Amino acid sequence: DSNYSSVAEMVFILNRMMNVNYDPLLATLNLMGMATDTGFFKYSNVSADLFRKVADLIELGADLNFIARTILENKKVEQLRLFSHVLNQMKFRANNRLVYSIVRFEDFERYSCTEEDSSGFVNELRSIRGVEVAILFVEYPKGRIHASMRSKSYYDLTKVASEFNGGGHPRAAGATFDDENMEQVVKKVVGRIERDLTN
């Protein structure tokens, strides 16, 4: 339901309707879901009603400081080295409104990382001044490539993602490609979004 910020927010509503007894651990985990799905309350899916639920969870014992330390201040050195590689691979299009980068499967081995270590990188690319759309192409085993897409303020990614049999939200979407090489995928996805941003 797009009226809510996250599945975690809907879980909270359902749990309250069913009179689930919250202890500090459950409250913390529920709040962690809300925090991560809203970019720590930065995205457009944040509402006053969500903050009321956050306040309820904190009153139930949720530890927001623990969540921030665990998610935001817990990066591995190897992960930062992989991110440095991602920054070195960045390419800009559409008068710098589109940025993309690539992580190949061997890069994970080279930097002793897992695919999960790259999950927040696309959000960092989107944070660059002047960028509207950021894309991170990640190569997985057996010829699978995933394009994670983020937009900042006005570009709706849902249409593009659906064209490539993907899905998501207006500001966060993705698509997975099987049996295609990286160059083909990059050309298709970047070309499609670049046309929109330059017209």
Determine, yes or no, domain membership for 152.
yes
Q: Are residues 67 and 81 in the same domain?
A: no
Determine, yes or no, domain membership for 1.
no
- Residue 104 near residue 136 (C-beta atoms within 8 A): no
Q: Are residues 108 and 162 in the same domain?
A: yes
Show pLDDT as tens, one digit a residue, over the chain (199 residues).
Answer: 677 889 999 999 999 999 999 999 999 999 999 999 888 998 888 999 999 999 999 999 999 999 999 998 999 999 999 999 999 999 999 999 999 999 999 999 999 999 999 989 999 999 999 999 999 999 998 889 999 999 999 999 999 999 999 999 898 999 999 989 999 999 999 999 999 999 8
Determine, yes or no, domain membership for 84.
yes
Last residue of a domain, one of 72, 99, 129: 72
Determine, yes or no, domain membership for 122.
yes
Q: Are residues 91 and 58 in the same domain?
A: no
Task: Supply the range of the domain harboring residue 183.
Answer: 77-198
Q: Are residues 41 and 93 in the same domain?
A: no
Assign residue 137 the CATH number of its domain.
3.10.310.30
Contacts of 12 (CB under 8 A, 6+ apart): 30, 34, 53, 56, 57
As for how many domains the chain has, the answer is: 2
Q: Are residues 109 and 88 in the same domain?
A: yes
Determine, yes or no, domain membership for 155.
yes
pTM score, whole prediction: 0.84
